[in-house]
Structure formats: C-alpha cells, structure tokens
C-alpha cells in the first residue's frame, strides 16, 4: 500500500532539494519498526516527512468511502489511519519529529514548512549549525 515516489511526493522532494535540504527517501529510521518506511527522512534534523495520499489516509477534504463494499473499506481505511498514528508514536518515541503533509498541499508550502523546522532542529556544533 505504501507506494514510493508518488507524483505529489516527487514534487515535494524536488522543492526540498531546491531549498538545499539533504534527505534520504523510503527508509525506516533507526529506532523504529523496520517495516515502517518513511517517505522523506532529514537525518540531521531528525525529521520524518510523509506525503499522505488523500484517499488512503482519509484526508478530511478529499477522503471518500467507496460505495461498493462499504464496510470492508471502512475497516480497511480506518486501519491505515490507526497504523499511521502508531507509526507517528514510534517515530516520536525514537526522537523523530513527524511531519505529515497531504498530497493535495502545495509542494512549495510543504517544503517551506519543513525548511523552517529543519533550521530549528539542526544540532549546533561549535556555534555553527551542522549539515544535514
Ligand atoms: Zn486531500
């Protein structure tokens, strides 16, 4: 279900790159469940960024319950959200800041938000901000 490199995610990655941010993609960070992969990891600032699909992750604006097999979908989609919250809890416990963006968000806005957070979370080494 976790598809890597969806179009909205690629757009966010490209916007982050243009801002000079360094990151790795589709990894499970140290300290977290190996099966929980993160879309974009900024390791220096310990930020775990997800670009969540509106359908699968039940976006409040665009999430819909398909008419056919409604009950099955209700359970299925609820399970995805519960898994997301569990992933968030695991990552937070391991010291990561979890940032979730919706695929419908402007990738430039997402990148700007992450850039600000990144700048505030870099470890300070000898009075200078360390690289990512
Ligand atoms: Zn949406």
Mean pLDDT of all residues in 40-50 = 95
Q: Ligand 1 center to residue 109 CA distance, Å?
A: 15
**Listed residues: CB within 5 A of ion ligand 1:** 54, 59, 61-62, 102, 104
Confidence of residue 34 (pLDDT cuts 50, 70, 90): confident
Would the pTM count as exceeding 0.85?
Answer: yes
- Would you say residue 130 has pLDDT above 60? no
Q: Ligand 1 center to residue 21 CA distance, Å?
A: 25
pLDDT of residue 43: 93
Arithmetic mean of pLDDT over the chain: 91
5 or 119, which is more confident?
A: 119
Q: Ligand 1 center to residue 50 CA distance, Å?
A: 14
Confidence of residue 89 (pLDDT cuts 50, 70, 90): very high
| Closest to 59 in 3D by CA, of 116, 105, 114, 25 | 105
Mean pLDDT of all residues in 56-76 = 96
| C-alpha dist (Å) from residue 89 to 42, 73, 85 | 18, 24, 6
| Separation between Cα atoms, residue 65 and residue 69, nearest integer Å | 9
């Amino acid at each position: 279900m976790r598809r890597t490199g969806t179009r909205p995610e690629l757009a966010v990655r490209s916007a982050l790159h243009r801002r000079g941010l360094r990151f790795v993609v589709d990894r499970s960070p140290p300290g977290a469940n190996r099966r929980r992969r993160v879309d974009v990891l900024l390791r220096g600032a310990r930020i775990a960024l997800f670009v969540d699909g509106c359908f699968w992750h039940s976006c409040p604006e665009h999430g819909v319950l398909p008419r056919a097999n409604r009950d099955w979908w209700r359970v299925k989609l609820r399970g995805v959200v519960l898994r997301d919250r569990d992933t968030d809890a695991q990552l937070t416990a391991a010291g990561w800041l979890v940032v979730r963006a919706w695929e419908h968000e402007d990738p430039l806005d997402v990148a700007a938000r992450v850039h600000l957070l990144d700048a505030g979370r870099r470890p300070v080494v000898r009075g200078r901000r360390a690289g990512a």
